[in-house]
Each structure stands twice: as C-alpha cells, then as structure tokens.
Structure 1
Amino acid sequence: MHLYDSAVETLVGQIKALIDKRNLGVGDPLPSERELGEMFSSSRTTVREAMRILKAYGVVDVRPKVGAVIIDRRMDAVFELYSFNTLELSRQTFLDTQGFRQLIEVGAVDQLFERATSEDIVELRTINDAMREEDQLHVAAQHDFRFHSKLVGILGNKQVNEIYRIMKPVMLKIMESGVNRMKTHGVSFDEHGGIADALESRNRFAFQYRMSQHLEAGLALFKE
C-alpha cells in the first residue's frame, strides 16, 4: 500500500470517528476541508480524496455554499455498486441467492401469516395475472420480482426490503432464466397461485412446501 493511500484511509477513519464523537446526524455540517486538514494534520489533497471516498460510501454530500453535510445513502451506494455486477449466473450464485431467499420467504411463514391481509392477497394475485399475460421475457421477470418483493414487503422490515432491492439484478437474471423455461408450461404462474392460496388459507405445510419447490425449480438450468 502506498503512503498516500494509507494517509487517505487513516483520514477517512478519523472523520468517521469525529462524526461519532460529535454525534452528528443527517443534515449536520462537517468542518471545512481547511479545518479538517488542520485538525488531522493532513494535506488538502488528502482531505479531498477522503471526502470523495466518504461521498462514494453515501455518508456525506458536498453542497454549494454549505460544504460537506452528513447524509445516509449507504444502502443506495451499495445498490449502485451491485447494479454493475457482471457476475456470471453460475450454479453457485443460484444456490447462494435462492438459499438466502429460502431463509426469508420460507422462514418468515409465521410473520407472513400474522401480517398478510386480504388486500395483500389480491395484490399478489393481480401481479401474478400480469406476469401470466406478459409475452416479453424481461417484463415477465419484472412481474416475478414484484410478486416476491410484495411478499417480503408484507413483513414490514425495511432492511429486508433494502436487501431485496440490492439483490434485484441477480434475482432478475435467475427469474428470466426461470420464466423462460417455465412460461411455456404455465408452471411459474401456477406456483405463484399455489403460494397465494396457501398464504390466504394459512396452510403452513402447503406454503413452505410450495415456496421451497418454487425457489428450487430453476436448479436444473445449471450444470454441476
């Protein structure tokens, strides 16, 4: 690591510590670049690079006539990085992604049964109908994602919603592959319908079985 890189990383850590020490929140201003340089004995170039990194992290924003202020776009910053993920859709990517989704969509059955309303069921069925009627693969996959996003949205957990938003690019790749294989046979539509039926009737066994089968269905698309 170059000395300059080390100095920038050190300063980033110092500014984060300053934010914690002063208990700064969203909208609060940071000291000016000159003040930060004097405070931490850093060059103007080092301070500017540290601020650039903090901005990329979604922690600060530099505004005209105001300077640097605290923001909270950390999840957006991660999403932007993930959106450019060119990772090949491999069997392992499929297993990791669907395994995580099983933990949420199958594991949260009790919370779903407790929170789901009749309006939620109607919306799930409406999304599923739109997917069945759609001829364009990428649009059908979008409806597929909407179905599952709506399902986890019933949980009312903002962090889970954000994680699904971040995972959307990879999930859409999986869904496009799945919809392409299943749509001819109407399998995807029927599976979603069965999931909605089980949720409406609060049938734990049927819900967990149908959801697990649905999430595992595309595995045959990937070689060992």
Structure 2
Amino acid sequence: MAEAGAQTTRSETGSAVDGVVESIRALIGRDGLTVGDSLPTERELCDAFGASRNTVREAMRILKAYGIVEVRPKVGATIIDNRMASAFEMFSFNVLDLSPKTFSDIQGFRALLEVSSVETLFERMTPSDLAELRRINTKLTDMPHVDVASEYDFEFHTKLMSLLDNKAILDVYGLMKPVILRIMKMGKSRRTFETTTYREHEAILAAAEAGDRLGYQYLMKTHLNAGYALFQKTAAPEAGKRDITS
C-alpha cells in the first residue's frame, strides 16, 4: 500500500511539472515573449499556476534542458533559443553504440537527400560551387589524421547539401554530425581517405559537371553504400570482444 501511494505521489508530481512546463510555454506564446525577454519570477509563476516552488523549479530545469530558457543568479529566467544545441547533445549521447539499424537509417536518410535531390542540385550548382567542392575534396589528400579527414569528408557533403538552400536540412545534418563522423571513420585509414574517398568524390563531381544525372545518382549511391561493407568488417570484431568480456 505504501509503495502504491509513493508511485501515485510521483505520478502526480510528474503530471504537475508537465502541466507547469506547458503553462509556461503557453505564457511565452500568449504574451509574445521572444529571445532575450525575461519570464516572471519564481514566486509569480507559483502564484499564476498554483504550483509549489519545487514544481516550478523542476519545470524550469526541463525547459533549460530543452534549450528554451536560461536561469542566471540575480537575473532570473531568460528566454533563449538553444533547441538545436540541446538536441545535438542528446543525439550525441544516444549514438555512443552505433547499431546496424542506426547505421542503415542514417545512410538511408542521407541517400534520400544526396541521391534523390539530383534535379535541384543540378539546377543550382554553379562552376564556383564545383570549384569549392573540389577545393574541399583536395584537402583529403593532405591531412594528418583520420579524425581530420572525416571532418573534411563531412564538410564536402554538407557543402553539397547547402546548394539546396534549405536550412532545415543543414540543421538536421548538424544534428546528425556525431554519428555521421563515426560512420565516415569506420574501417578507414588515412590512406583510404587519401585515395578511395577522394576518387569517389571526384567521380561524383565529374558527373555533376557533365550534367550526367544517372551517373551522379549511381556514383553517390555507391559511395554511400560502400560504408556498409566497412561497417560489417568493423562491427564483427567489436561484437566478438563484447561476447568474450560478457
């Protein structure tokens, strides 16, 4: 009975906190508050929502985690917009163990954008864009470490996606960057980036320069799919190590 009562209390507390979170978000919208504006004081929020100080503090903690508010001593709660940064941190934490499903989902999503967007890419791509993409790709031939190479690889693909002129896509790529970098590095050496990755990028750019849509799609899809074999080779030994130690 005591345990059931404790569970009910926790549930009610959680519901109260959720209610205050939603009430604060509604207040922000209703009063037209924007980035830099201050929220009412803790006491005012308690009075407005009929909530305890602990409930309001917990609600503020959640809003802070969401990247919506910042709480500073002697200043109080101020509205900010760090939602992408907060999502980035949560996503980074959740990809510490790269599963085959996550790998497949990420590469499949990238293919939808980088392969299927060929018409828009070709319409927007200029000689200057091609030159910039080649400049980025050339950096793969002279870099000190795999970590640096993966950053150049990511820069190449994000530059390509920037031609779509779609901020949402670039935001999502920024969000996925930690796991994309892991995928780019899996099973690769510095030599792999200097030769294979560099040549695959050059072939993709040559197809784009020639206006060869089918060639571009085939080469980009092959380039993205090449990671599957490397992933299997890398994942198998790691799985074996886990079996031995478990």
Shift in Å, 1:180: 2.9
Q: Deviations over 1:73-104 (max 9, x none)?
A: 11111011222234322322221110000111
* Aligned residue in 2 for 1:168: 177
Percent of residue pairs bearing the same amino acid type:
51
Task: Quote how far apart the aligned CAs of 1:123 are.
Answer: 1.4
Q: Is 1:126 equivalent to 2:144 in the alignment?
A: no
Aligned to 2:40: 31
The equivalences for 1:173-184 within 5 A come to: 173-177=182-186, 179-180=188-189, 183=192
Flag the 1:195–1:109 CA change in 2: closer, same or farther, 3 A. same
2:61 to 52, 57, 75: 52
Q: Deviations 1:24-67 (Å, cap 9, x if unpaired)?
A: 22222211111110000011111111111101101112245442
Does structure 1 residue 14 correspond to structure 2 residue 23? yes
Instruction: Give the structure 2 partner of residue 117 of structure 1.
Output: 126
Q: Deviations over 1:78-134 (max 9, x none)?
A: 011222234322322221110000111112112211222222211111111111222
Residue 229 (structure 2) aligns with: 220
Query: Could you state the TM-score of these two structures normalised by the residue count of structure 2?
Result: 0.84
Match of 1:101 among 94, 97, 110: 110
Alignment partner for residue 208 of structure 1, among 217, 220, 223? 217
2:149 and 2:190 in contact (8 A); partners too: no
Do the aligned partners of residues 184 and 57 (structure 1) sit closer, same or farther apart at CA in structure 2, a change above 3 Å counting? Answer: closer
Greater mean alpha carbon deviation, residues 199-208 or residues 179-188: 179-188
Confirm or deny that 1:153 pairs with 2:162: yes
- Structure 2: runs of 5+ lacking an equivalent: 1-6, 237-246
Q: Give unpaired runs (5+ residues) of structure 1.
A: none
Larger Rg over CA atoms: 2
Q: Deviations over 1:170-207 (max 9, x none)?
A: 11111001533971882211110011112222221111
Contact 1:141 / 1:179 at 8 angstroms: preserved in 2? no
Q: Which residue of 1 aligns with 2:203?
A: 194
* TM-score, structure 1 normalization: 0.92
Give the SS at the match of 2:81.
coil
Of residues 205-214 and 172-181 in structure 1, the stretch that sits farther from structure 2 once superposed is 172-181
SS in 1 for 2:189: helix
CA contact (8 A) 2:145 2:190 kept: no
Question: Superposition RMSD on alpha carbons, in Å?
Answer: 2.1
Q: Which structure exhibits the higher relative contact order, with contacts defined as CA atoms closer than 8 Å and separated by 6 or more residues?
A: 1
Aligned-partner residue type, residue 117 of structure 1 = T
Cα separation, 1, equivalents of 2:72 and 2:189: 46
Figure out how many residues of one structure are paired with residues of the other and give that number. 224
Query: How big is the shift at 1:144?
Result: 0.7
In the alignment, structure 1 residue 81 sits paired with structure 2 residue 73: no
